[in-house]
Structure 1
Amino acid sequence: MKIHPKITPIYQTSVFKFEDLNELELYFGEPGSRYLYSRNGNPNSDELAAAVTQLEGGAGAVATGSGMAAIFAAVMAYCEAGDHVLCAADIYGGSSALLSQELSRLGITVSYVPFADLTTNLPAYAQPRTRLLLCETISNPLLRVIDLRAAANAAHALGLKLVVDNTFATPVLTRPFEHGADLVMHSVTKYLAGHSDVTAGAVVARTPEDAARLRQIGTLFGLTLSPMESWLAVRGLKTLRLRMEAHCRNAQAVAELLVRHPAVGQVFYPGLPGHPQHQLAAVQGAGSFGGMVSFRLADDTTEAVSRFMRASQRFPFAPSLAGVDSSLSYPAGTSHRALTEEQRQELGITAGLVRLSVGIEPAAELLADLQQALDAK
Structure 2
Amino acid sequence: MHIHPKITPIYQTSVFKFEDLNELELYFGEPGSRYLYSRNGNPNSDELAEAVTHLEGGAGAVATGSGMAAIFAALLTYCTAGDHVLCAADIYGGSAALLNQELDRLGIGVSYVPFEDLTTNLAAYAQPRTRLLLCETISNPLLRVVDLRAAAEAAHALGLKLVLDNTFASPVLTQPFEYGADLVMHSVTKYLAGHSDVTAGVVVARTPEDAARLRQIGTLFGLTLSPMESWLAVRGIKTLRLRMEAHSRNAQAVAELLAQHPAVQEVFYPGLAQHPQHTLAREQGAGRFGGMVSFRLLDDSTNAVSRFMRASQRFPFAPSLAGVDSSLSYPAGTSHRALTEEQRQELGITAGLVRLSVGIEPVEELLADLHQALEATVV
Q: Normalising by structure 2, what TM-score? A: 0.99
1:355 Cα deviation from its structure 2 partner? 0.1
- CA offsets per residue over residues 46-87 of structure 1, 9 Å max, x none? 000000000000000000000000000000000000000000
Match of 1:71, SS state, is helix
2:104 aligned counterpart, secondary structure: helix
Q: Deviations over 1:311-369 (max 9, x none)?
A: 00000000000000000000000000000000000000000000000000000000000
Aligned to 2:337: 337
Name stretches of at least 5 consecutive residues in structure 2 with no aligned partner. Answer: none
Structure 1 position 115, deviation (Å) = 0.1
1:72-121 CA-to-partner distances (Å, cap 9, x unmatched) read 00000000000000000000000000001100011000000000000000
Residues 109-137 of structure 1: per-residue CA shift (max 9 Å, x gap): 00000000000000000000000000000
Distance in 2 of aligned mates of 1:300 and 1:280: 29
Which residue does the alignment assign to 1:18?
Answer: 18
* Number of the residue aligned with 1:169: 169
Q: For residues 338 and 21 of structure 2, what CA distance do their matches in structure 1 show? A: 52
Give the corresponding residue for 2:293: 293
Identity of aligned residues (%): 89
* Partner secondary structure for residue 105 of structure 2: helix
The whole-number CA distance in structure 2 between the counterparts of 1:119 and 1:172 is 24
1:188 corresponds to = 188
Give the distance between the partners of 1:174 and 1:373, measured in 2 at CA.
Answer: 33
The 1-side partners of 2:183 and 2:375 are apart by: 44
Q: What is residue 98 of structure 2 aligned with on the other side?
A: 98
Q: Does 1:247 align with 2:235?
A: no
Q: Which amino acid aligns with 1:47?
A: E
Structure 2 CA distance, aligned partners of 1:78 and 1:237? Answer: 28
**Counterpart-to-counterpart distance in 1, 2:106 and 2:308:** 42
Aligned residue pair count:
377
- Which residue number corresponds to residue 326 of structure 1? 326
Residue 356 (str. 1) matches residue 356 (str. 2):
yes
The amino acid across from 2:62 in the alignment is V
Q: Which amino acid aligns with 2:296?
A: R
The alpha carbon displacement at 1:307 in A equals 0.2
Match of 1:74 in 2: 74
- Aligned partners of 2:163, 2:88: CA distance in 1, in Å? 11
CA distance in 1, matches of 2:302, 2:371: 19
Q: How does 1:1-377 map to 2 (within 5 A)?
A: 1-376=1-376, 377=378
The one-letter amino acid paired with 1:57 is G
Matches of 1:128 and 1:278 in 2, distance apart?
Answer: 35
The 1-side partners of 2:99 and 2:225 are apart by: 22
SS at match of 2:356: strand
Q: Distance in 2 between matches of 1:76 and 1:314?
A: 40
In structure 2, what residue type is equivalent to 1:74? A
Q: What TM-score do the two structures reach when normalised by structure 1?
A: 1.00
- Aligned-partner Cα distance in 1 for 2:132–2:39: 27
Q: What displacement does 1:44 show?
A: 0.1
1:236 & 1:174 partners in 2: Cα distance? 18
Deviation per CA, 1:195-236, whole angstroms, max 9, x where unpaired? 000000000000000000000000000001000000000000
Letter of the aligned partner of 1:126 in structure 2?
A
Give me the whole-angstrom Cα distance separating, in 1, the residues matched to 2:107 and 2:356. 36
- Give 1:329's aligned amino acid: S
AA aligned opposite 1:145: V
Residues in 1 aligned to 2:49 and 2:172: alpha-carbon distance in whole angstroms: 16
Secondary structure of 1:106's counterpart equals: coil
| Deviation, structure 1 residue 6 | 0.2
Q: 5+ unaligned residues in a row in structure 1: which ranges?
A: none
Cα deviation code 1:158-200 (max 9, x no counterpart):
0000000000000000000000000000000000000000000
Inter-partner Cα distance in structure 2 for 1:284 and 1:249: 17
Code of the residue aligned with 2:30 in structure 1: it is E
SS at match of 2:213: helix
Cα RMSD of the aligned pairs, angstroms, is: 0.3
**How far apart are the structure 2 equivalents of 1:371 and 1:173?**
29
Q: Distance in 1 between matches of 2:301 and 2:209?
A: 50
User: What is the Cα deviation at residue 375 of structure 1?
Assistant: 1.1
Whole-angstrom distance in 2 between the partners of 1:101 and 1:78:
19
